[in-house]
Amino acid sequence: MDSFSLYGKIISKDNVPLGGMNIQAFDQDSIDPDDLLGQSTTDSNGIFKIDFDKSKFSKAWELLEGTPDVYLVINDSHRNQLLKTKVMQTRKEIDYHVKNNGEHDTPDPNAKDIYAGNARRLITMLRDVGNILSKENQINLNMLQNANLSEDIKKDIQNFVNDNEDRSNNFKQIIAVLASLSDTVLEELHIDDIGYDGPQVPRYPRREQYNKVIIWPKNEVFKWA
Amino acid sequence: MGIIYGIEELPQRNENYKVIITDIVEETDICIVGSGAAGAVLAKELVESGKRVVLLEKGGYYEGKDMNQREADMMPLLWKNAGFNFNDSLRIAIAQGCCLGGSTIINDAVCFDTPPRVREEWSNKYGVDFSNDEWTNHLKRVNETLHVTEVEDNELNRNNMMLREGARKLGLRDHRKNSRNCVNCMQCGFCHIGCHYETKQNVLVTYIHQALKNPDSQIRIYCNCNVTKIVYRNGRVEGVDGDFVDIDGNKKYRIRVNAKVFIISAGAIASSKLLLTNGIAQDTAGKGLCLHPGIQVLGDFDYEIKGNEGIPMAYTVHDFGVDRKTDETRKEYNFDSGGEFLIESIFIPLFQFSIALSASSIIEHRKLIERFNNYAMAGIVVRDGNIGKVSLTATGRASVTYEAGENELKVLAKGVEVLGKMWFRLGARRIIIPHRNLSVIDREDDIPKLIDKILHDPKNLLLGSAHPQSGNRIGADAADSVVDSNCRVHGLGNLFVCDASVFPTAVGVNPQLSVMTIASIIASRIQRDWDAQYGPLNLGKQLDKVCEISQPMYCLRDNLSQMFDSVDTQFGAQTLINSVNDKADESNWKFDAETLMITNNSHWKGIFPRDIDLRNTLTLYFGGFWKRFSDSKKPTISSTSVSSLSSDITGITHPFEVPVFAVNTALDTRLDGFGRVVLLKYRDPPYNMFYDVLKIVDENTVLGKAFFTNPQPGREILTFSMSRRYPLEYMTEEDHEMLYSKMKKPSMESMIGVWEGQLVSDSTWTDPVFRFRFYFENNTTGRILKNDYLFNNTLAGTATVEEKEDHLEMHDETKIFHDELRQIDGNMVIGKYYSETKFALGWLPSEGLSFLHLDTQRSTIYLPYILKKIGNESIFRNRFG
């Protein structure tokens, strides 16, 4: 695991590839100045690649430095810094996708929480689905017993009623999955334990300053590359 | 410039957006229901041809910056039913969008042209008469507007490359990169929950944006708007009605759209539901639904794949699809006469991924999730037959009946065979499918066991659907199709259905381009035929049930209050005087059968705004009232003479449910903060602490506010309106009695069909609380008219109808109750429900006892009600054939 690769693509806020951008990759050190791992320029498709090996970040005295803590600095063709990515560890590669917004939109800390009330929406939907099991089934049972139905309608209602056990099992399954996943911080929980790289933007994008950078670290070279 | 309206306060939007605060009445050229792949294309093309367009969308308006890449936050906002969209067995999850832009906001941006084989089949077998030129030109137009481009090699993520490599290993012949409507994709992998970066060229950022930004554009888009009613008469649609619904599902404002042309583009299930609910195409709508059922097959590998990172769907195997270039592979796999399927590379974010694994037990599930970064995933998508159906249940819900048939299962099994082999050849340690009884195998030799399970234990196979289509197919014959080749509904000259529901058969590939191309073709045909067929149509300007000063009974309290504040009284207290006789009779009561309006001058009927919660004790007492005014001349003594007689207008206020008759005097005066008004001062304690301020807006309409102690602006305790000429649904029990006495007996034939009943009380009608189905039954003596009834969704039974001299009479078998019926018009019947015992009243809703009315002539009580016809036999049939 001695060679590493950083690659990616940069587009403008109008979704146009940005060529001629200067990309510098650094390894963040806690005490010493950050090591420059390498640099490159984006081609006309906005694509860049920086390869480096361990020697670039691990000096003789840095015995604990196994994996680099990588961040990119992106400068325009005049060397003005456009943005700095957040730090990400990798054992092999990182795939970057950057949308350069230029001037940031001003964050509004009081921007309305449009997700509030989703719990109510979800509960309403679940209840509507549950009603198919209870209320509607009851009505159908009642109609079968009391109403004078034609044969074809009777058959369809009977089928519905016969399926109720299967339907009930399916519903239990849905509830079970939901119950085990009801955490809205599910993604955050899983980042560490299964190595899932989750959402790449803040939960309230309008309330914060953030870079539109997607960082996908990989720990192996792909077998079928 | 166009504008978008909605009910929610939203942060800064890209487009012009306003929150609505009143009911809306629209008059326009074209009204489109649904803003997805079809609706958006139709809206833009028609507005650019100079037409006025109103676009109605049930969901909300969300754009890039709202998409926070978290499923729990985004699915309730963007997905229909927050993702809980199932068939009746709850085994097949159907993915559809419900937001501005529809399913194009949440799809994977895959673009496939309509396969030539399918176009031929539709043309030769189903009479779809789109010419080759039309297909070609409009397909091109759509491709350009959406900026469709082929995926680059360097855009294939590891999961896509697994499918490519697997296809190579098996020697498949027809596999390639997808084309997508996405430009310089950021490859975040969150397509299913909205594109934060606005690189996905969904219809919101393309068609809808273009429709709005043109300065000459006359388009208005209404979000959070649920259309429920299509109003039609004599083969022509006059208007649609909808409600604006807030996030708790409460109806707030109403909208009525009057237009020359109406297009339903609500998607495969909702379009059928809307037709059936309104009694249109009752024998054909919803029949032959297709779902493209599919399953995902996972391969678990010893190397890292991280399939969620990157473009979810960028590679497809077409060898077995309806768009294949060669039959060789099918022959090789003994599948030559089989059906058609695609193998599509796909990966999904964590939450949905968990659902895909949900076939396994909870314990297994946890262990399976841990391998998340090591899975490759691809989906088998089956081109199914027209084996499903959308229908209405007894409670009015849209029910999707669908089970994969033998053919579909065989196709799925073949797909699993091919894909399973592929994964094992690439080194999978096991593969996983969503079958509850066998979900994991770890050897290629065990693939036949999976196939066996699929074929012989299908009830435990969890399927998914992302492409519901058909159900309202195009065809020449109204007996087995819903629309003609112009997508016009058979029998209705100005109503169209245009979305995936019009496909005669399943299209066999991801359908968005096909939907948009058809929409584009239809838009151009409507333009072509406009001057001759649609332009000259007379636009009805009907208010229907929206809030307006001439019909304040339809208003919400805030709107009513604002209306009150904005006017002075137009008439003096003199105008308030009612008839001398305080009971309804020939001299002061009239019913206009044309307009369905009752005029009753025995009193003014008081009506509270429709948003008052009737369970509030205060308004339960005052849940309806009348005021009656008369003039009483009395002499006044002035310092100079005794000659003049001044007139006092005196009134009585009586709430319907309580024995209160509060005497008052009506004075013309001017009040600070109110302008010119008629002031009611109550005479006797305890009412003399109350005042009513009235503003008479026309001969028959009064707006009012009640105050405790002196009236001051903003301090009202009640806001109301009063009317002595009002629509049928505001009738009092006395009105019901008068109306019944004037109506005639209906014929037995005219009763056939399904009716909904509402109880009449003095304050208001109930929502529909019972349902009748009348039909003829043959017996030994001839035929008898029978009625299957369903009361309050709890009690069902059957009754027999007899013809009496001046009414129809209905008896149930137990003879506990009987009904007497007369006819108002072809779609409305007025009835009385007489019951001998309290037992038979047990089904009444809790406030029901206030509906009972005394029949003075028979010394018994009855329930007055009104029946409205909602459809013929077949909407109650759950059958396809």
What pLDDT digit, counting tens, does each position of A153-178 carry?
A: 788 888 888 888 888 888 887 777 66
Find residue B93's DSSP bridge partners: B86, B464
B183: nearest CA in chain A? A15
Indicate if A131 and A213 belong to the same structural domain: no
Nearest chain B Cα to A7, which residue? B154
3-class SS letters over B425-455: HCCCCEEECCECCCCEECCHHHHHHHHHHHH
Cβ contact, residue pair B184, A219, below 8 Å: no
Asked if A152 is an interface residue toward chain B (Cβ–Cβ < 8 A), one would say yes
Q: What is the mean pLDDT of residues B758-766?
A: 79
For chain B, which residues make up each domain, given as ranges?
1-146+189-288+471-546, 151-180+293-382+405-460, 552-727, 733-876
Of B11, B69, B305, Cβ closest to residue A200: B69
Cβ-defined contact of A118 to B76 (cutoff 8 Å): yes
Q: How many CB atoms lie within 10 A of CB B734?
A: 18
pLDDT at position A55, please?
82
Q: By the CB < 8 Å criterion, does B306 face chain A?
A: yes
**Mean pLDDT estimate for chain B:** 89
Distance CA B733, CA B610 (A): 19
Mutating which of B74, B186, B395, B798 best tests the A interface, going by the most A Cβ atoms within 10 A?
A: B186
Give the model's pLDDT for residue A185: 41
B351 touches chain A (CB under 8 A): yes
Contact (Cβ atoms closer than 8 angstroms) between residue B594 and residue B627: no
Alpha-carbon distance B532 to B484, whole Å?
18
Same domain, A10 and A93: yes
CATH architecture of B151-180+293-382+405-460: 2-Layer Sandwich (3.30)
DSSP conformation class of B537 = S
Residue of A nearest to B93 (CA): A174
Between B95-104, B246-255, B437-446, B667-676, the lowest mean confidence (pLDDT) is in B246-255
Q: Which residues pair with A48 in a beta bridge?
A: A8
- Alpha-carbon torsion, ordered B135, B137, B138, B143, to 10 deg: 110
Cβ-defined contact of A166 to B91 (cutoff 8 Å): yes
Chain centroid to CA B555 = 22
Give the pLDDT confidence of B102-155 residue by residue, as tens digits: 999 999 999 999 999 999 999 999 999 999 999 999 999 999 999 999 999 999
Q: Which of B290, B289, B291, B281 is nearest to B480 (CA)?
A: B281
> Does A185 reside within a domain?
no
Q: Which of B157, B389, B436 is nearest to B295 (CA)?
A: B436
Mean pLDDT of B270-283: 93
Contact B73 A214 (CB under 8 A): no
Give chain A's domain count: 2
Per-residue pLDDT band at B463 (split at 50, 70, 90): very high
**Residues of chain A with C-beta less than 8 angstroms from the C-beta of B183:** 15
Q: What is the dihedral of CA B340, B346, B348, B353, to 10 degrees?
A: 60
Cα-to-chain-centroid distance, residue A96: 13
Taking only residues 61 to 90 of chain A, the set having a beta carbon closer than 8 angstroms to any beta carbon of chain B reads none
Q: Which of A174, A184, A193, A213 to mutate to test the interface with B (most CBs of B within 10 A)?
A: A174
Find residue A51's DSSP bridge partners.
A5
Query: How are strands ordered across the β-sheet holding A93-100?
Result: A47-53, A3-12, A93-100, A212-218
- Taking the Cβ of residue A130 and every Cβ of chain B, the question of whether any pair is shorter than 8 Å is answered with no
Q: How confident is the model at residue B636 (pLDDT cuts 50, 70, 90)?
A: very low
A-contacting residues in B 148-187 (Cβ below 8 Å): 154, 158, 161-162, 165, 183-184, 186-187
Which structural domain range is residue A160 located in? 118-180
Which CATH class, in words, describes the domain spanning B733-876? Answer: mainly beta
Interface of B with A in 246-265 (CB under 8 A): 247-249
Return all residues near B758 (Cβ < 8 A) that are at least 6 apart. Answer: B729, B765, B766, B767, B768, B769, B865, B866, B868
Q: Is B176 strand, coil or helix? A: strand
pLDDT value of residue B609: 84
The CATH number assigned to the domain with range B1-146+189-288+471-546 reads: 3.50.50.60
Using the Cβ of A112 and the Cβ atoms of chain B, whether some distance falls under 8 Å is answered with yes
Contact yes or no for A132 and B397 at CB 8 A: yes
Q: How far apart (Å, rounded) are the C-alpha atoms in residues B326 and B317?
A: 12
Q: Is B608 helix (H, G, I), strand (E, B) or coil?
A: coil
C-alpha to C-alpha distance for B395 and B321, rounded to whole angstroms? 40
- What was the pLDDT predicted at A52? 92
Of the candidates A97, A166, A223, which has its C-beta nearest B89's C-beta?
Answer: A166
Asked whether B243 and B226 are in contact (CB, 8 A), the reply is yes
Q: Where are the alpha helices (DSSP H) in B116-221?
A: 116-126, 132-145, 158-169, 209-213
B 758-777 near A (Cβ less than 8 A): 775, 777
Contact residues on chain B for A11, CB-CB shorter than 8 A: 184, 186, 199
Are B399 and B312 contacting, i.e. CB atoms less than 8 angstroms apart? no
Taking residues B744-749, what's their average pLDDT? 93
Assembly ipTM: 0.91
Q: Which of A59-68, A166-175, B790-799, B840-849 has the lowest mean pLDDT?
A: B840-849
Percent of chain B scoring above 70 in pLDDT: 92
Q: Would the CB atoms of B11 and A206 count as touching at under 8 Å?
A: yes
Contacts A–B by Cβ distance under 8 A: 221
Top-confidence residue, B808 or B858? B808
CB B221 within 8 A of CB B36: no
Q: Check residues B859 and B419 and name the one with the higher pLDDT.
A: B419
Contact between B69 and A198 using a beta-carbon 8 Å cutoff: yes
Give the global pTM: 0.86
Average pLDDT over residues B302-329: 96
B811 beta partners: B800, B818
Q: Does the distance separating the beta carbons of B303 and A199 come in below 8 Å? A: no
Q: Name which of B311, B246, B237 is nearest B274 in CA terms.
A: B237
Q: Give the closest of B304, B794, B879 to A218, CB-based.
A: B304
Residue A51 lies in a domain: yes
Residue B704 has pLDDT above 80, yes or no: yes
CB-nearest to B793 from A139, A198, A219 is A139
User: How high is the pLDDT of residue B688?
Assistant: 85
What is the domain-level CATH number for residue A45? Answer: 2.60.40.180
**Which of A50-54, B298-302, B658-662 has the lowest average pLDDT?**
B658-662
Beta-carbon separation of B10 and A160 below 8 A:
no
pLDDT greater than 90 at residue B879 = no
**Cα–Cα distances in angstroms (integers) from residue B19 to residues B7, B62, B244, B245, in the given order:** 5, 14, 11, 13
Q: Which of A47, A111, A120 sits opposite B11 (nearest CB)?
A: A111
Cα A50 to Cα A77, B227, B279, B303, B774, distances in angstroms = 17, 55, 66, 24, 78
A197/B306 touch (CB, cutoff 8 Å), yes or no:
yes
Which of A180, A190, A203 is opposite residue B350, by nearest beta carbon?
A190
CATH of domain B552-727: 2.40.128
Cross-chain residue pair A224–B165, CB shorter than 8 Å: yes
Min Cα distance A26 → chain B (Å) is 23
pLDDT above 70: residue B881: no
Q: pLDDT tens for residues B574-632?
A: 999 999 888 889 999 999 988 889 999 999 999 888 775 544 434 443 467 889 999 87
| Residue B163 to residue A224: CA distance in whole angstroms | 11
Does A200 reside within a domain?
A: no
pLDDT value at residue B622: 46
pLDDT at B370 over 90: no
Residues A45 and A7 in one domain: yes
User: Residue A113: inside a domain, yes or no?
Assistant: no
Question: Residue B557 in contact with residue B609, Cβ under 8 Å?
Answer: yes
What is residue B639's predicted lDDT score, i.e. its pLDDT?
A: 46
What's the confidence (pLDDT) of residue B594?
86
- Is A190 a domain residue? no
Using a CB-CB cut-off of 8 Å, the residues of chain A touching B68 are 115, 199, 201-205
- Give dist(CA B267, CA B275) in Å, integer: 12
Query: What is the nearest CA distance from A175 to chain B, expressed in angstroms?
Result: 11
Token reading at B304: 């890292």
- pLDDT tens for B295-310 read 999 999 999 999 999 9
pLDDT at position A208 over 80: yes
Contacting B residues, span 582-641, partner chain A, CB-CB under 8 Å: none
DSSP-assigned letter for residue B479: T
Q: Is the pLDDT of residue A129 over 70?
A: yes
Side-chain-side CA neighbours of residue B742 (13 Å): 17
> Higher pLDDT residue, B612 or B807?
B807
Give the mean pLDDT of B15-33: 95
A134 and A100 both lie in a single domain = no
Query: Furthest-apart CA pair in chain B: how many Å?
Result: 119
**Edge-to-edge strands of the sheet including B589-592?**
B589-592, B597-600, B725-727
- Secondary structure class of A81 (helix, strand, coil): strand
Shortest alpha-carbon distance between residue A34 and chain B (Å): 28
A114: nearest CB among B77, B365, B793: B77
Residues 205 to 224 of A: which have CB under 8 A from any B CB? 205-206, 212, 214, 216, 218-220, 222-224
Residue A123 at interface with chain B, using a CB cutoff of 8 Å: no
What one-character DSSP code corresponds to residue A133?
I
Structure tokens at B454: 């699929």
Interface test mutation site (partner B, options A181, A193, A213, max chain B beta carbons within 10 A): A181
Closest partner residue to A136 among B184, B354, B395, by Cβ? B395
Quick check: A13 contacting B, CB < 8 Å? Answer: no
How far CA B291 is from CA of B267, B469, B501, in Å, comes to: 12, 6, 11
Q: Rounded CA gap, B30 and B526, in Å?
A: 10
> Which region holds residue B332: left if phi is over 0, alpha if psi is between -120 and 50, else beta?
alpha
Top pLDDT among B446 and A102 is at B446
